[in-house]
Amino acid sequence: MEKPRQDWVGLANISFGFFGIQIGFALQNANMSRVFQSLGSSMDDLPALWVAAPLTGLLIQPVIGHMSDRTWLGRLGRRRPYFLAGAVLAALSLFLMPLSPVLLMAALLLWTLDASLNVSMEPFRAFVGDMLRKDQHTAGYAVQTAFIGAGAVVGSLFPYLLEHLGVANEAAPGVIPDTVRYSFWAGGVALFAAVLWTVVTTREYSPEELARFAEDDEAKAHAEVNLAERDSAAPFGWIVAGIAAGLVTMQFGLEKEVYLLAGLLVGYGLISHVAIRLARTGRPASMLTGIVGDFSGMPEIMKRLALVQFFSWSALFIMWINTTPIVAKDFFGSADPASAAYQEGGNWVGVLFSVYNGVAAIAALTLLPFLSRRFGKVRTHMFGLLCGAAGFASFFLIKDPTWLILSEVGIGIAWASILAMPYAILASSLPQAKLGIYMGLFNVFVVVPQLLVATVMGSIMKAFFPGEPIWTMAFAAGTLVLAALSMARVSVPAE
């Protein structure tokens, strides 16, 4: 028995909430460095402040994925309760963020905002797989990517448009400009309204209905990982690696953020050890043993895509942290957050981010499906990643900030492909009953590179390119090339 085929209205309703979620992410990505620097942060401290965002994703998404696979709240369904709860918390965080009087409050609210956005976002990835038959997965994730791009355009353009409507774009030192303040408030309203639309206009399949679909037979046939049979010595390898990273950081005086990476390695080793011990007691499976077991038993295609994601998201996080300081310093001539030139550069970054997101929205519905039909998902994704690498490299060739729009076209094509192709491949290859947890675990390979950038990039830049953030774009271009090469190892059976 097949799931009913969705028309374009159904596809749009399923993913419309992502439009609002991405408004929140766009406001965060384009403005948080500006907010932090307005409240007194130095350029060197930005990676440490930004580390909250990927860390919350790393901790929350696997948990939410595991829980949503096992949730059923009657008419509210499986995934939609998480959409709604995350949207309420994210809207409150967006309202409070521009009221922050001190840097610490802004950093804590970034943590809360990103956690809330992740609570809403993770089930949306699985929701497409839940609601659509396999032959509609590419179309479903393409529509989702289009809404992501459209939401990001709106969120990125808010401050720029408000300035042109006469709202003050400058403020006294230590005060967040009104353009940013009003943008966050409007974004909170839009986020909640968009998520509520999806909650109201969709109906999820019940566990009994899913059991009748042919795809569910694959879920029943999926071999569970016996965590009790795992090598008990393996977790200690992670612990040793973490201790070694901490000692190297201490010995060579690396940036203090690297200690966080070391702590995560040790933490995962300890969690794995505890999970194996619990599994060997013969007790019923818990959330901890379930998550660790599923992580250990990832399908092969997911492991190969994980490497692609690692390199891809390293480049994206470099861009989000450093574009505002780069554009302000190298194209508008000011590294002082209190200056009019810096704030003008910050607004132009909002325009640039809206361009790459707008390009992504168009490419997701036109270019990517065209290329995918003719060349397959793997080659299409390789092409998209190389377009992004060219866009980052062009920052070194362009002198007029207006022409950076051309750079954003290449980045936009890459962004569309990163958001659509890996998930379309996965949704058609994973067991239905574990779609939530596997999508959550797949996010680990989105988050870990961001943590690596946040903890290590500062040390690299301080040692080799002090005061020259534009060189981070060279790293971004290089990692996208590595992502494209890694994609060549991925094989989709249907292709």
Q: How far is CA 396 from CA 152, 293, 393, 474, in A?
A: 25, 45, 6, 9
490: left (phi over 0), alpha (psi -120 to 50) or beta: beta
Identify the pLDDT of residue 460.
Answer: 76
First-to-last alpha carbon distance for the chain, in angstroms, is: 24
pLDDT confidence tier of residue 233, bands split at 50, 70 and 90: confident
| Mean pLDDT along residues 49-68 | 79
495-to-237, 302, 372, 374, 386 alpha-carbon distances in Å: 37, 16, 10, 10, 21
pLDDT tens column, 393-444: 999 999 899 999 999 999 999 999 999 999 988 887 777 778 888 888 888 8
What tens digit of pLDDT does each residue of 158-170 get?
A: 888 888 888 888 7
Instruction: Say what the pLDDT of residue 69 is.
Output: 87
Confidence of residue 39 (pLDDT cuts 50, 70, 90): confident
State residue 285 phi and psi, 5-degree precision: -60, 135
Q: What does the pLDDT read at residue 23? A: 92
Q: What pLDDT digit, counting tens, does each position of 96-117 carry?
A: 988 888 888 888 888 888 889 9
Contact 131, 12 (CB under 8 A): no
- Give the separation between CA 386 and CA 374, rounded to whole angstroms: 18
- The Cα 28–Cα 178 span in angstroms is 16
pLDDT of 219 above 60:
no
- 220 pLDDT tier (thresholds 50, 70, 90): very low
Structure tokens belonging to residue 303: 């492991």
Residue 91: per-residue pLDDT: 95
Mean pLDDT of the 248-266 span: 77
Query: Three-class SS of residue 96?
Result: helix
Check residue 13 and give its pLDDT.
Answer: 95
pLDDT band, very low/low/confident/very high, at 216 (cuts 50, 70, 90): very low
Q: Name the maximum alpha-carbon separation found in the chain.
A: 66
List C-alpha distances in Å: 295 to 60, 154, 237, 310: 15, 36, 16, 16
Q: Is 230 helix (H, G, I), strand (E, B) or coil?
A: coil
d(C-alpha 474, C-alpha 451), whole Å: 19
Average pLDDT across the chain, whole number: 84
Residue pLDDT, tens place only, 445-465: 887 887 777 667 766 777 777
Residue 202: per-residue pLDDT = 94
Q: Would the pLDDT of 378 be above 70?
A: yes
Per-residue DSSP letter, 436: H
Distance between CA atoms of 316 and 43, rounded to whole angstroms? 18
Contact 315, 483 (CB under 8 A): yes
Q: How far apart are CA 344 and CA 467, in angstroms?
A: 20
62-101 pLDDT tens trace: 889 889 888 899 888 989 999 999 999 999 999 998 888 8
The whole-angstrom distance between residue 461's C-alpha and the CA centroid of its chain comes to 24
Structure tokens at 208: 């009994």
275-317 tens-digit pLDDT:
888 877 777 667 878 788 788 778 888 999 999 999 999 999 8
pLDDT tens readout for residues 128-186: 888 988 888 888 888 998 898 888 888 878 888 888 888 888 777 777 888 888 999 99
pLDDT recorded at residue 297: 76
